[in-house]
Amino acid sequence: MTTTGIEGPPSVTITSPQNGAVLEAGSPLTVLVKADDNGSVTQVEFFQNDVSIGIDTSSPYSVSLPLILKGEYSFKAIATDNDGLTTVSKEISITVLEQDGECPDLWQSNEIYEKNNTVSHNDHTWKAKWWTKGDEPGTTGPWGVWEDLGFCGAGDNETPNVNIDSPEQGGTFSEGVDILIAATATDNDGSIVKVEFFTGSKSLGVATSPPYDIIWSNVDQGRYTLTAVAEDNEGAVTTSSEVSICVGECTGTADNEKLVVGYWHNWNDYSAPYIRLTDLPNYYDVICIAFAEPVSHDNMTLRFTPDFISVEQFKNDVKTLQTEGKKVLISIGGANAHISLDTTADKENFISSLKAIIDEYGFDGLDVDLEGSSLLLQSGDTDFKNPITPRVINFIDACRTICDSYGNDFMLTAAPETANVQGAYSSYSGVYGSYLPLLYALKDRLSYVHVQHYNTGSMHGLDGQVYNSATADFHVAMAEMLLKGFPVAYDNNNLFPALRSDQVAIGLPMSPQAAGSGFTMETEMKKALDYLITGKSFGGNYQLQNSDGYCGMKGIMGWSVNWDATRSYTFGNFYSKLLETYLECSYN
């Protein structure tokens, strides 16, 4: 007699690094896994601090982290076999200590470096001009393969200082006038190379010598947020505090509006039950419907069907919220849905199916909640301004097409994990920084981004220090990365530009059970928001680079209103009242 059927699940073990290992900051790290199965192992997915950092489909299974920073890290791996069975490895933990000295020497003679790769060596940062192996930076002459980007040791170069002198905060102008924008810029240990002026993320012009000023001609009606970015002779940059002005009639407070965004999930959780949209209290300004998901791992046709009530009842519930002045968005992805637009066919199926969902239910916009490896940078993709990874390029094209189909009132929001955004500070590879091309390419259409400040490990702030989640310091540090802009992979010449303050919100769990980690008590979060929005310090370790704060910051996102119900809607009640106290700060 023969037997048929599914064999047992695979086995998976992390073989390197060893549990409890102590490493030195600045060293590359490769995580190795041994995985076996009676059939075959189809993939191994790697996780760092519960965040997916890559997938390997062939043995030996591994993932590499180019540079690893000071902090505590945990790793695990999930193996999947040909029958779809999975096994989670035993989790290991390592400690990474600060490296001696202020500028770690990271060049390795046997390492292959490709064009635009950067590495520190002999207290300088070097950028490869083309492929190289074994050519030591600084020893191959002016026509060598390395470009010297200057000193990299802390304290070797002070960042410049820059402030906008004109126009004044809250200035008003007639439509169509020419506006003088002038700044003062100084550098204590060098010279100013240029000062570039921006409204939001749009460059208005550059001044390369004092007086640092430009004329902004024939300005259209509207509210504008101005900044100046100064660069010194060693490549260090500083962004000024924001100056908000009004041109023509500026009725309404769109730029100053503060929002409480709540996700609503279309299922019964074990402790957070299904709730009718019309039964929600009036605390939430935007409701993100979770989730539209692909038909299968290989079919990027999206689908959404309301649970527990009919399609017509759900449509009526959406309309009811909209008549109350709320926005209702469809959110795509989530933790359990893998969306990867690797081909043109994937992209076209995604666009047509998502537009059909938006049209049927009358949603006001699209929320992007891709997690895990849905947005994953391929090897050699090193420039967020010019991505080469197909799934990244296709997703940007798809979002642009969908937004253009519905006009300027259509909302586009995003809820990345910290690794996808702020993680690029230390490494632009794999999932680290994978949202940057999307945010950069669509910044003109982006309503706001609310990075998930939860289910995350410790992260570096702009001051180079490590901050732990669920603390006021962490929330302030993570938010200012987007409000101020930050160097990508330690490269001060590769700066991810600041978003407008009204494009930045913070994502939080609405209850301790709503996420694996990151729940922050309201009293702790108030300290962070007071500091971020008004500049009122709570005496924490992290110091805002813009001491005046960011009055235009958009607000708070919470996962989820279903979980908030288990706390008698404490989250929505608290933050809807708190955000009202900040409404007068932007244009005073």
Distance CA 78, CA 61 (A): 11
> Does residue 371 carry a catalytic annotation?
yes
Distance CA 461, CA 476 (A): 9
Backbone angles phi, psi at 425, to 5 degrees: -55, -40
Interacting residues of 85 by C-beta distance below 8 A, sequence separation 6+: 6, 8, 9, 10
CA 57-419-523 angle, 5° bins: 145
Would you tell me how many other CB atoms lie within 10 Å of the CB of residue 432? Answer: 28
The answer to whether residues 242 and 546 touch, using CB atoms and an 8 Å cutoff, is yes
**Nearest to 366, CA basis, from 471, 281, 438:** 438
The answer to whether residues 181 and 204 touch, using CB atoms and an 8 Å cutoff, is yes
Q: Which of the following is catalytic: 371, 480, 524, 584?
A: 371
Distance CA 196, CA 216 (A): 12
Beta bridge partners of 300: none
DSSP structure string for 409-465: T-EEEE--BGGGTGGGGT--BBTBTTTHHHHHHTTTT--EEEEE-SS---EE-TTS-
State the residue for tokens 């289910």.
Answer: 455
Put residue 101 in one of left, alpha, beta given phi > 0 → left and psi -120 to 50 → alpha: left
Distance CA 407, CA 399 (A): 13
The answer to whether residues 389 and 396 touch, using CB atoms and an 8 Å cutoff, is no
Distance CA 479, CA 290 (A): 24
- In Å, how far are 272, 285, 564, 571 from 568, measured between CA atoms? 12, 18, 7, 9
Distance CA 231, CA 416 (A): 29
Instruction: State the Rg of the chain over Cα.
Output: 25
Taking the mean position of all CA atoms in its chain, how far away is CA 15?
Answer: 31
The token duo for 143 is 């026509």
**Nearest to 35, CA basis, from 73, 85, 94, 92:** 85
The answer to whether residues 506 and 259 touch, using CB atoms and an 8 Å cutoff, is no
Taking the mean position of all CA atoms in its chain, how far away is CA 130?
Answer: 29
Decide: helix, strand or coil at residue 268: coil
Distance CA 573, CA 571 (A): 6
Catalytic residue ranges: 371
